[in-house]
Amino acid sequence: MKHFFSILTLFILISCSSPNGEEAQPPNSDTQTPTIQSISTSSTNIGDTIIINGQHFDPNSTYTITFNGTSGQIAQITSTTISVKVPVGTTSGPLQLTTNGVTVNAGYISIIGQNRLFAYKQYGEIVELNSVTGVETKTLVYGPGSHYLTELKYFAPTNEIIGQGFISNNNGTNTYQLFKVKLADKTIKNIIYPGYDQLIVTTTGKLYGYKLYEGIIELNPNTGSEIGSLINTGSDQLYGLIYNPQTNEIMGDKGLLDNNGKNIHKFCKIKLSDNSVTENIYYGYDELIPATNGKLYAYRATEKIVELNPATGTEIKTLINISTPNISNLTYYPQTNQIIGKKIIYNNGIATYKLLKLNLTNNSLSENNIIKDDYDYFIVTN
């Protein structure tokens, strides 16, 4: 028995020693979690190298960096930067860093040369347009199976245009459908679902629906069924809901009357990480225009297009003053760093439709290209 305890003691001493005979050290409790502060660019080409800036990166640790799910080749790691090559085969989408089983979003990356512009004609077609000239290049869908389509968005994970269709029934009611068309093969799905006042698509592959005077709820993008619980946004109506990829927030304009009967506007933000809702009074705009690099722009009819602080909704600067009416469908086009939209000009009662383009690099406005139709929606792939 005495010899047994001696052997056991020796085994314990060996087990608690490092391979080189030194005493094993406990893990360093001072090791700090890596934090991401910025990325060198939000638009890039296949094969380019981008830099993730932050703190507490460890050159001896293992990191995985993905571009919309495709792993990139890490070229260099320092304590404050990670350089990574944009992989072949990737598409625009979230840039994510994973280490020690934890994944964090670094931002949203647009792959240059991959943006496409589509438009919807009322009761008819979804067509692809040349983004430079506005000329129709091909018909994607003719006769979508619904009487009318609304809320058309691009859904990157499945490379589809999705939206809401409805069919008017003989008894005066409407049947609502989740409409989906694949860009790869033009196949269409119409899935009956409850119907919502607005649809919001995130760059992380999620779909949300807004219920008027109630709130926002996540939807299954394959079936349209509701997931989880309602995010209560109050009894006042929200307009123009958009998604900001940099802050992972849904944003919108809330219009209401104060105690004196005066119209006021609130900048409403729903943080999707914790479903918290914040509001603050601001100027109010007809359209909010999010850019893939996290910047936020807005249009006020017959007045101006401005850049807003996405945290507060306050104006940073006026990009251009616009006094003419009949401007709509404004959206951001990453490939050329432009805001594009539709302008209608009436001459003796005859309408001419133009493709409006605001270059955000120099704030120059172009409206030289006539477009064929009074399109209801512009949809940009990203």
**pLDDT digit string, tens, across residues 56-66:** 999 999 999 99
pLDDT level of residue 21 (50, 70, 90 thresholds): very low
67 and 87 Cβ atoms separated by less than 8 Å: yes
Which of 21-25, 269-273, 314-318, 373-377 is predicted least confidently? 21-25
pLDDT at 15 > cutoff 50: no
127 and 136 Cβ atoms separated by less than 8 Å: yes
Q: What is the pTM of this model?
A: 0.74
- Provide the b/e sequence for 183-221 (b: ≥16 CB within 10 Å): beeeebebeebebbbbbbbbbbebbbbbbeeebbbbbeb
> In this prediction, what percent of the chain has a pLDDT beyond 90?
63
Q: What is the mean pLDDT of residues 315-325?
A: 93
Cα distances from 151 to residues 201, 302, 317, 348, 379, in angstroms, run 10, 24, 29, 32, 10
Residue type, 208: Y
How much is the pLDDT for 157? 82
70 and 92 Cβ atoms separated by less than 8 Å: no
How much is the pLDDT for 355? 95
Q: Is 123 helix (H, G, I), strand (E, B) or coil?
A: coil
